[in-house]
Structure 1
Amino acid sequence: MKQSWGERSYQWISYAIVGLLSVASLYPLFYVLSLSLVSEQEWIQRNGFIFIPFHPTLIAYERLFSGSTFTNALWVSIIRTVVGTLSVLTMTTIAAYVVSRRELVGRKLFVFLILVTILFHSGLIPGYLVVKELGLLDTLGALIIPMLVDSWSVLVLMQFFRGVPREMEEAAEVDGVGDWTRMTKVILPMSKPSLVAIGLFIAVSHWNSWFDAFIYLNSPDWMPLQLIMRNMFANANVGADFNPSLVNNPAERVSTESLKMAVAVIGTIPILLVYPFLQKHFTKGMYLGAVKG
């Protein structure tokens, strides 16, 4: 079918707008990456504005990984994200399956209580006191256990589980399976898109969180990468922690800004690498979660 001049113009304008928005979105990331690949000498010579490095170098990354503090923080973030995401998905899925059962006595009350936790939060001080009384201060559990159940995800999964064809569950009941087998063998395989979408949200939340570590942790052994990044951007003299002044060759020195940008790159790339592999399920899960129920 031949398109009219107006339709072609509309498409070209749409492509131009999307292209400009894409460039505007990618430019900050490209600038941060470029700035992390320059030495202190080039950074000074070009007055700190670098779009394409003339002499790219990995000195900033070498300085970061040469220190145990940064390496330990990176591992803490990875462990927190993996363990936290799996734990939240497990607990959230179980809770959603339970409240999705229409035969559950008091189901509306449970759903109401879940809604209350979404609308009203306990506050910073009560939350700190709970973590303290549980003996979780200065432990990795302080970063995982308080976020163990995501109420919003419970409601989304509940609606999705209720949309699973009843015939599938009746067939499982005829075979004599219990609730656990029905959930793991029937419900969850059909709910994979929603689980992936929610899992990605939870993983991003764990990976980017730093304020809870700032409140609950004093020992540097359990500080995640995002808290280290926050401290680096808040402290203008953070470069001294990696001893850049001890390097005699000016071309091998690294500026504080390059160190900060290198941390930002390392803190951003893992999530960017995960998303393309989950994009298909993520998009499908978002649409299904929006229309089910």
Structure 2
Amino acid sequence: MTNFNERLYQAINITVVLGLALLSAIPLVYVISMSLVNEQEWIARGGFILWPNQPTLIAYERLFQGSAVIQALGSTVVRTVLGTSLVLTMTTIAAYVLSKKNLPGRTPMLFFILVTILINGGLIPTYLVVRDLHLLDSIWALIIPGLIDSWSVLVLKQFFENIPDELEESAVIDGAGEFMLMLKIMIPMAAPAMAAIGLFIGVAQWNSWFDALIYLNDPQWHPIQLLIRNMFSSSEIGAQFNNASQHNALNPVNRVSTESLKMALVVIGTLPIMFVYPFLQKHFMKGMYLGAVKG
């Protein structure tokens, strides 16, 4: 009877999980499918398509024929790589320093970090600071205001504190200074946590658009997410990419609907960051596990 109950329990769990996974996949399938149809099929099938009958890359061709998408992708990649590297570096240094229990002023510093998690500076004061630092219309306006991630500092500090003191003492006996101790001992030990935090920071950098809207008037550094936002709020995007003189758009087969263009841009803005996860999955899962056990 026990074995039967266990098998029934497992079957119910598998069914529920598969059902939830299917429901979660439907929006992604819809977005990809809608990006692969021309205007003729989109009109014929009523605008809701989960599987295209005649898949075509015409929407992607239209988007990449201009420089806006390529420039936005390049800006987003630069922001994500530069921002993630700098934020993770500064966060790691801050966490390592604060993990030292004999650090003078450690408690007040931790208090101020905790306050920044609960209360931010506000949009207008932050804008005034960015303006007075002459960062407007530069990539640094998107990176420097968030150079330290307070929550990640506390998480990494906990990881450093959980590393056995014997390792640190052995390294000191062998002549290692603070810099070598952090670089050769502490950071490698905290690599799983740093991989998990780096993934969160990278996704946040890739998906950010509001700060670019506020700080950047020059479209040179506009990220792909801001381009998506602008496209979804524009009513002229279809006419722009269906210019008859350039694409023979009088033929319905050569036309692409506004919805397909939007969905294609969503795919372009989503897939690159999704491909990063498999490379960090091993460290990510280990970091989350250690956080759950040690935190």
Give me the TM-score of the superposition, normalised by structure 1.
0.96
Question: Pairwise mapping of residues 106-145 of structure 1 onto structure 2 (< 5 A)?
Answer: 106-145=105-144
Q: How does 1:122-271 map to 2 (within 5 A)?
A: 122-246=121-245, 247-248=247-248, 249-271=251-273
Q: SS of 1:30's equivalent? A: helix
Does residue 62 of structure 1 match 2:61?
yes
> Does the Cα contact within 8 Å between 2:242 and 2:255 map onto a contact in 1?
no
Pairing 1:44-123 to 2, within 5 Å after superposition: 44-123=43-122
Equivalent residue number for residue 38 of structure 1: 37
Distance 1:139 1:277 in 2: 30
1:284 aligned residue (278, 283, 286)? 286
Give the letter for the 2:235 counterpart.
A
What amino acid is aligned across from residue 287 of structure 2 in structure 1? G
RMSD between aligned residues? 1.3
Pair 81,94 (structure 1): closer, same or farther in 2 beyond 3 Å: same
- Give the whole-Å Cα distance in 1 for the aligned partners of 2:78 and 2:240: 24
Kept in 1, the 8 Å contact 2:216–2:222? The answer is yes
Could you tell me which runs of 5 or more consecutive residues in structure 2 were left unpaired when the two chains were aligned.
none
Displacement of 1:179 in angstroms is 0.6
Shift of residue 245 of structure 1?
Answer: 4.0
For residue 291 of structure 1, report the CA deviation from its aligned partner. 3.7
Residues 244 and 255, structure 1, Cα contact 8 Å, conserved in 2: no
CA distance in structure 1 between the partners assigned to 2:110 and 2:182 by the alignment: 19
Aligned equivalents of 2:235, 2:44: Cα separation in 1: 20
- Measure the CA separation in 1 of the matches of 2:157 and 2:265: 38
Give the Cα separation in 1 of the matches to 2:241 and 2:218: 19
SS at match of 1:95: helix
Aligned residue-pair number: 292
Post-superposition offset of 1:212: 0.4
User: Do 1:169 and 1:186's aligned partners in 2 also have CA atoms closer than 8 Å?
Assistant: yes
Amino acid at match of 1:156: V
* 8 Å CA contact retained: 1:244, 1:253: no
Structure 2 distance, partners of 1:58, 1:20, is 30
**Separation (CA, whole Å) in 2 of partners of 1:272 and 1:120:** 31
Task: Answer yes or no: is the 8 Å Cα contact 2:242–2:256 preserved in 1.
Answer: no
Residue 235 of structure 1 deviates from its aligned partner by 1.4
Per-residue CA distance 1:247-271 (angstroms, 9 max, x = gap): 3232121111000000111111112
* 1:22 counterpart residue number: 21
| Distance apart, 1:3 and its partner CA | 5.5
Per-residue deviation, residues 90-126 of structure 1 (Å, max 9, x unmatched): 0000000000011211111111111111111110000
The SS at the match of 1:47 is coil
The Cα offsets for residues 49-87 of structure 1, whole Å up to 9 and x where unpaired, read as: 111111111111111111111110010001100110000
Assess if the C-alpha contact under 8 Å between 2:238 and 2:257 holds in 1. Answer: yes
- Structure 1: state its 5+ residue gaps: none
Task: Determine if contact 1:32/1:261 at 8 Å carries over to the other structure.
Answer: yes
Equivalent residues of 2:39, 2:256 under 8 A apart: yes
Alpha-carbon distance, 1:244 to partner = 4.3
Q: Which moved more, 1:230-239 or 1:162-171?
A: 230-239
Query: Partner residue of 1:11?
Result: 10
Q: Is the 8 A contact 1:194 1:281 kept in 2?
A: yes
Q: Distance in 1 between matches of 2:127 and 2:144?
A: 13
The 8 Å contact of residues 81 and 207 in structure 1, kept in 2 or not, is answered as yes
Deviation at 1:278, TM superposition (A): 1.4
Amino acid at match of 1:287: Y
The one-character-per-residue Cα deviations of 1:215-248 (angstroms, maximum 9, x if unpaired) are 1111111100000001111112222332444432
CA shift digits 1:180-231 (9 cap, x unpaired): 1100100011111000000000000000001001111111111000000011
